[in-house]
Structure 1
Amino acid sequence: MREHDLPRTGRGKSRNHFDDDELTYEKNFAEEPEWDETPDKPEFGDRWSTWDLSTPLERGPEPHPDWLVTELAAVDVERGVLKTGKEADVFLLHRHIPHTERGCLLAAKRYRSHDHRMFHRDAGYLEGRRVKESRVNRAMASRSSFGKEAIAGTWAGAEFNALVRLWEIAGQLDVPAFTPYPVQILGTEVLQEFIGSPDGTAAPRLAQVRADGKELADLWRQLVLGLTVLARAGYAHGDLSPYNILVHEGRLVIIDLPQIVDMVANPQGKRFLARDVHNVATWFTARGLPDVDETALTAELLAEAGLR
């Protein structure tokens, strides 16, 4: 995929700052000065790549995938909305280098500001989550405007950090990745691997898949493996269902992890895990998969997490 190709002109002209050595005061001008208000954006596209705005700890684990565009000459182009929700919207983003064929599709998840609805029953998910500054914890508990902004940042950070951790653990265990690759986080925007076809068609949700026989059994095997890695990391998804699992060319991918639950720190961790298992086991059983024992699976996952 290619965008309109024009030479890059730079990221804007330099401007004076208040800490410059020499200041020119407006009262000394004989006539009205002309200020440079040229927007800092590329000739084509919606913005420059934000890759260099994230710190190394705010980027995905190395080695970065070959498909990921990390060059600073890249631009980001919005391709539309993939999903809307009460807490966040997901956009399709094309990051590419002008004049070349190099580009990739990303899913940009942007959490809503404090004046929009926050997570449904978010108090249960927030148990066990704390930030370093006590004043921020108090603001989050009181749901002040500042506290709601902090909660939005907490959701974004929790999802990105979980994706990084799970990607790393899958690599250490030499098992296929079952979550999207976490590209970067910038504020309350989480960029991650787009799961779908090169033309921008998103992969279907598990709830939309018509599978039976060996295909259904293979999807269950992948899901159990993913849940096992989650449990070994000490996590429960917290809101798992056939609606936040994607299936792309036979690959099962678990998405929507902002409410991820630390099963040790959260006193309701076991309940969240049991609910996750029940939701997916019920779906697979209804589709005709035999020998699905949710009680046994829940016990196995608790053992993986070091809980009983």
Structure 2
Amino acid sequence: MKTPSGLQPLIDDGVIDAVMRPLKSGKEAAVYVVSAGGEIRCAKVYKDMAQRSFQQRVQYQEGRKVRGSREARAIAKASKYGRRQQEAEWKNTEVEALYQLRDAGVRVPEPFGYFHGVLVMELVVDADGHSAPRLGEVELAPEQARGFHRFLVRQVVKMLCAGLIHGDLSEYNVLVAPDGPVIIDLPQVVSAAGNNAARTMLLRDVNNLTASLGAWAPELLDTWYGEEMWALYEAGELHPDTELTGRFEHDESAPDLDGVRHAINDAREEALIRQQGREAAAEGD
């Protein structure tokens, strides 16, 4: 295929040998399958701010570290230099998160470097060597769904212990490899300690996974892992190997409790309806 302009500098520098095919294109970046030194990898080309449609960047960027005081002042003033720095920080975030999370034992793609604004990383494949499917694209037996849920909850715990929250975790950014799920797409990762919306984002991440996998194992819809792990995190009692129960006693006086529970229950009810529809269709066959 014709080499995209964003990848030509990597070929010129010998970082990659050739671009094989496009893998996906989203609101934040375009991903290509590339060859590099005899290995098949993927290259993520981040789109410029003017091309992106992702909303609520300010909410996600709250609490992120800025490299210097000059950069922080420029970003605060929204000057042209500040916008360039903010853009660079945005693109660097996923790269830094991947290295940090790999060190923390989280199952994310292995990064191989960041060159000319392009992230080169592991291509997650299925048993036949093809690009791995997303979690939302596979059918699961109840036991598989329960196992995936246990595994992914453990990954979220490890991320939280490393001080990070995915911020946009769902069935659409988890790939299914032969050895289990792999979490992808981290440019919106947030600081657990420095972002005021951290708890809300964590609960949304966990409950997105629960609602999706609960379609195959409905008993998961009665668990509260996100609330449990956040309470332990706030108390300083959460560790990567902490055993969670999925049970949680809600504080009925919490001001945002109703809104959070309505959102969670809506997602879980939708998943249950989908599951009942599948069962009805199977009975009719």
Q: TM-score scaled by structure 2?
A: 0.72
Q: Output the aligned Cα RMSD.
A: 2.6
Q: Hey, what's the Cα distance between the residues in 1 that align with 2:79 and 2:31?
A: 26
Could you tell me how far 1:82 is from its partner in structure 2? 1.0
Answer yes or no: is 1:105 the counterpart of 2:40. yes
Task: Return the alpha-carbon distance in structure 2 between the equivalents of residues 183 and 195 of structure 1.
Answer: 13
Unmatched segments (≥5 aa) in structure 2: 1-7, 238-285
Partner of 1:49: 14
Residue of structure 2 in register with 1:134 after alignment: 69
Shift of 1:118: 5.5
Whole-Å separation in 1 of the counterparts to 2:124 and 2:175: 8
Q: SS of 1:115's equivalent? A: helix
Shift of 1:153: 1.8
Is 1:90–1:110's contact at 8 Å kept on the other side of the alignment? yes
Which deviates the most, 130-139 or 272-281?
Answer: 130-139
Amino acid at match of 2:200: R
Decide whether the 8 Å contact of 2:166 with 2:190 is kept in 1.
yes
Structure 1: where are the runs of 5+ without partners? 1-40, 51-74, 97-102, 171-176
The aligned counterpart of 1:247 is 176
Preserved CA contact (<8 Å) 2:74 2:81: yes
Q: 2:114 aligns with which of 154, 177, 185?
A: 185
TM-score of the superposition, structure 1-length normalised? Answer: 0.67
- Structure 2 counterparts to residues 29-48 of structure 1, below 5 A: 46-48=11-13
**Residue-by-residue CA offset, 1:226-260 (whole Å, 9 max, x unaligned):** 11111111211100110000001241000001111
Matched position secondary structure for 2:132: coil
- Partner Cα separation in structure 2 for residue 282 and residue 302 of structure 1: 21
Secondary structure of the 1:216 match is helix
Contact 1:205 1:247 in 2 (8 A): yes
Query: Considering only CA atoms, is the larger Rg found in Structure 1 or Structure 2?
Result: 1
**Deviation at residue 299 of structure 1 after TM alignment:** 1.9
Distance in 1 between residues matched to 2:46 and 2:84, nearest whole Å? 10
C-alpha distance 256-201 of structure 1, shift in aligned 2 (>3 A)? same
1: CA distance between counterparts of 2:234 and 2:163?
Answer: 5
> How many residues end up aligned between the 2 structures?
230
1:133-172 equivalences in 2 (<5 Å)? 133-170=68-105
Q: Percent identity?
A: 31
Indicate the residue corresponding to 1:78 in structure 2: 19
Q: What CA deviation, in whole Å up to 9, does each residue of 1:31-78 have, x standing for no partner?
A: xxxxxxxxxx99xx943433xxxxxxxxxxxxxxxxxxxxxxxx5211
Distance 1:78 1:180, change over 3 A: same
Cα distance between partner residues in 1 of 2:144 and 2:124: 19
- Larger helix percent: 2
Cα offsets for 1:177-222 (capped at 9, x unmatched) = 5111111112421111110159863110001010012221221121
